[in-house]
């Protein structure tokens, strides 16, 4: 994997804390001298990094006009699990996985990764042919979670779902027309929540391959929730059930 640019305070601060050796260069807007920037510069100094002063216009060009907040960094990829086997072998307790089918919006992926980190998911999985890869927008929205939650892009999603089953991970399709609600799913053992993009939903083969399906009960005039919201709700339900067992 090649070096790439990340931007924004959350993404860069998280990278400096979790994997400072992967940060190769940092550029900052010389006009920004507030407390937030001083904190970031202190982190960079502690990691032994030289910070390059720049101007807002140059930073704009570097990231294609994205909202960089006055700070851009060149980073190397951080080594994380690349296969289902590698993910599972490091898990203590019941596995928790998110599978995305057809999610191509980087903002949605970033938000899903952030929720996955917050609720302790062990990986996010997506097919190579119908998904967005990790890029600077994903990393910024994820607020550092792209560096803590493995994101596996697989060639054959149905085959990967079968592989999860071999590891005793129950695959549950989030389906708006399913008979049962997500609270009726036993999420205390290993589980993978499988979600499709808003509107198009899951592909037929993906839905058919899953062990079961459940819906998020919603009212009002909307027909479906944003995939990142749905993922957060499913993850929360898992944590709720597991904490109830342990009296948390």
With vertex at residue 197, the alpha carbon angle to CA 191 and CA 199, rounded to the nearest 5 degrees, is 130
142 and 217 assigned to the same domain: yes
142 and 187 together in one domain: yes
The number of folded domains in the chain is 2
Regarding whether 118 and 21 lie in a shared domain, the answer is no
Bridge partner list, 29: 54
Last residue of a domain, one of 24, 47, 75: 75
Shared-domain flag, residues 88 and 67: no
Task: Give the span between the Cα atoms of 49 and 223, in whole angstroms.
Answer: 49
Q: Residue 235 sits in which domain range?
A: 84-246
Asked if pLDDT for residue 3 goes beyond 60, the answer is yes
Same domain, 170 and 54: no
Note the pLDDT tens digit of each residue in 185-232: 999 999 999 999 867 788 999 999 999 999 998 776 666 788 999 999
194 and 93 in a common domain? yes
- 3-state SS track over the chain: CCCEEEECHHHHHHHHHHCHHHEEEEEEECCCCCHHHHHHHHHHHHCCCCEEEECHHHHHHHCCCCCCCCEEEEECCCCCCCCHHHHHHCCCCCCEEEEEECCCCHHHHHHHHHHHHHCCCCEEEEEHHHCCCCCHHHHHHHCCHHHCCCEEEECCHHHHHHHHHHCCCEEEEECCCCCCEHHHCCCCCCEEEEEEECCCECCHHHHHHCCEEEECCCCCCCCCCCHHHHHHHHHHHHHHHHHHHHCC
For residue 222, what pLDDT is reported?
62
Last residue of a domain, one of 21, 40, 75: 75
Residue-wise pLDDT for 99-128, tens only, equals 999 899 999 999 999 999 888 899 999 999
What's the CATH code of the domain at 154?
A: 3.40.1280.10
**Same-domain pairing of 54 and 106:** no
Q: Are 150 and 78 in contact (CB under 8 A)?
A: no
Cα(99)–Cα(173) distance, rounded to whole angstroms? Answer: 9
CB 6 within 8 A of CB 75: yes
Tell me, yes or no, whether 171 and 96 share the same domain. Answer: yes
Report the CATH number that the domain containing residue 57 is assigned in CATH.
3.30.1330.30
Where among 41, 75, 109 does a domain terminate? 75
* Percentage with pLDDT > 90 across the chain: 59
Residue 142 and residue 226 in one domain: yes
Looking at per-residue pLDDT, the higher value among 152 and 4 belongs to 152
CB atoms closer than 10 angstroms to residue 166:
10
Tens of pLDDT, residue by residue over 145-196, are: 887 889 999 999 999 999 999 999 999 999 988 999 999 999 999 999 999 9
């Amino acid at each position: 994997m090649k070096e790439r640019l990340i931007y924004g305070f959350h993404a860069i601060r998280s990278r400096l804390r979790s994997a400072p050796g992967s940060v190769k260069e940092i550029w900052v807007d010389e006009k920004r001298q507030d407390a937030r920037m001083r904190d970031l510069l202190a982190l960079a100094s502690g990691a032994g990094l030289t910070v390059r002063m720049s101007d807002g216009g140059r930073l704009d060009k570097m990231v294609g006009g994205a909202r960089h907040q006055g700070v851009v960094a060149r980073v190397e990829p951080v080594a994380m699990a690349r296969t289902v086997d590698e993910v599972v072998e490091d898990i203590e307790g019941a596995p928790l996985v998110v599978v995305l089918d057809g999610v191509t919006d980087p903002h949605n992926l970033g938000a899903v990764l952030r929720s996955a980190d917050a609720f302790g998911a062990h990986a996010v999985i997506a097919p190579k042919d119908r998904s967005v890869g990790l890029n600077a927008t994903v990393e910024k929205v994820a607020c550092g979670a792209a560096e803590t939650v493995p994101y596996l892009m697989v060639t054959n999603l149905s085959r990967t779902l079968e592989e999860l089953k071999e590891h005793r991970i129950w695959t549950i399709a989030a389906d708006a027309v399913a008979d049962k609600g997500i609270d009726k799913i036993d999420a205390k053992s290993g589980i993978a929540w499988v979600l499709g993009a808003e509107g198009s939903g899951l592909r037929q083969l993906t839905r058919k391959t899953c062990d079961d399906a459940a819906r998020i009960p919603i009212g009002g005039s909307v027909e479906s929730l944003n995939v990142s919201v749905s993922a957060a709700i499913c993850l929360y339900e898992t944590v709720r059930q597991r904490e109830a067992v342990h009296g948390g």
